[in-house]
A and B are shown apart, each in its own frame.
Chain A
Amino acid sequence: MADKIKLLLVDDEIQFLETISTRLSMRDFDVTTANSGEEAIEAARKQEFEIALVDLNMPGIGGEKVLEILKREHKFMEVVILTGYGAIDSAIRCTKAGVYGYLEKPCELETLLNVLQEAYQRRVQNKLEFKNEKLKKIISEVVPGSPLEILRKLKEMDKELK
């Protein structure tokens, strides 16, 4: 069986967190829950997540700040906002901060799954683009005719991208 997608789910409403976590777990997601912004940031520092689904209005560190920190600290993590309090100005700020999607609660699971799929697709694309850029750089930087040096750099790159 294929590896599950590692999803970080962040919401201060525990009942909501538990229910949506169960539903996504039934659909091949490996879900970790956090019921505050602080907990989410800490969890992402301890293990790697591919996507984070984050509420906006939470006590302490709010969703916008969580988005900013996650995007800064985890290059390829995609973040989707799921909020009961959607507003144009916050959607604009989130877009500027690199959010993939901005959804309002209650949200149909099919809609959420579509956005999660697209977010994961963007993550894969970004990784590929990064790899290509790096490959181009290696080839342009090394002296022509030194295959061992290219090999060493390629090995380093391969290690970095794991």
Chain B
Amino acid sequence: MSEEKLLREKGLAFFGSITASFSHEINNVMAIISELAGLMEDLLRVADQGHPPQLERFRGISVRIGTQVKRGEEMIKRLNRFAHTMDEPVKTIDMTHLLVDLIALSERLRTRRRARMETRFPEETILLVSNPFRLQQAVFSCMELVLAASHDNQLLRLILEKQEGGARITVAGEDPIVKTDEAALSFLPILMEELGGKVEVISTGNGGLSLVLSIPYSMPEDSKKPIDNRRKPYVASGKSTV
């Protein structure tokens, strides 16, 4: 498969995975609200039968509905921001904001593996001119790879740092590697090359998987254009530090 096709297919798969996971979460919120509304009806029916209305329970349910509505709104906003990352192939990105959104978007991925998350962001703002969708895809792929490499209940570390010429993102697992997804690992250099960056695979002190992404301040000129608008077919050099 050509690298253009691979980039397109993996991009779609990432988009699908995030939207499926988020629609599932939103559905959960709807199910909770539906049950809470049903519980209110149950309590009203009891009151209609002559029992004193349980006002405190009504207040409690009302608060819980409010909490779920806020939770749903927040999810929809994040999903909407994520969908808009596809609007422009290149834009100025505040890396902390991008990663905070991605952490929320990937919550289900971590919950399913019962992973804890530790983050470290710099105090200064790091602005990059890059492709926000592909950047999120790269970091999400790293999270998937690290989580899949070991058992459940892992501690996942995400570190954003400024480095000469751009930024560095480290995604690392605490536990020793049990298995690696070679296909996903071999796609990362292609994706990083598209962003003008590179990926390094490092083993942590206790044998855990650590992936370090180096991203330049600005993407290569050719990569700034949508794949379809490039004058000559895009051919990645295939070189990587992996």
Residues of A within 8 A of B (CB): 12-13, 15-16, 19-20, 22-23, 26, 57, 59-60, 84-85, 105-107, 109
Contact = CB atoms under 8 A, between A and B. Distances in A.
Interface in B65-106: 68
Contacts of B64: 15, 19
Contact of A106 (B30, B39, B114): B30
Nearest to A26: B42
A59 B32 contact: no
B122 interface: no
A13 B114 contact: no
B119 interface: no
B36 interface: yes
Contacts of A26: 42, 46
A107 B32 CA distance: 10
Nearest to A58: B112
27 contacts: A13-B31, A13-B32, A15-B32, A15-B68, A19-B35, A19-B36, A19-B39, A19-B64, A22-B39, A23-B35, A23-B38, A23-B42, A26-B46, A59-B111, A59-B113, A59-B114, A59-B152, A60-B114, A84-B28, A85-B24, A105-B28, A105-B30, A105-B31, A106-B30, A106-B31, A107-B31, A109-B38
Contacts of A59: 111-114, 152
B17 interface: no
A106 B34 contact: yes
B31 A84 contact: yes
A107 B113 CA distance: 27
A73 B3 CA distance: 50
Given A19-B36, A20-B35, A105-B28, 8 more contacts: A15-B32, A16-B32, A19-B38, A59-B152, A60-B152, A84-B27, A105-B27, A106-B34
Interface string B41-75: 01000100000000000000000100010000000
Contacts of A13: 28, 31-32
A16 B38 contact: no
A60 B115 CA distance: 11
Contact of B24 (A16, A57, A106): A57
A19 B112 contact: no
A84 B24 contact: yes
**Interface-central residue, A26, A59, A109, by most chain B CB under 10 Å:** A59
**Interface-central residue, B31, B112, B152, by most chain A CB under 10 Å:** B31
Contacts of A106: 27, 30-31, 34-35
A22 B32 CA distance: 13
Contacts of A85: 24, 27
B144 to A, nearest CB: 15
B35 A16 contact: yes
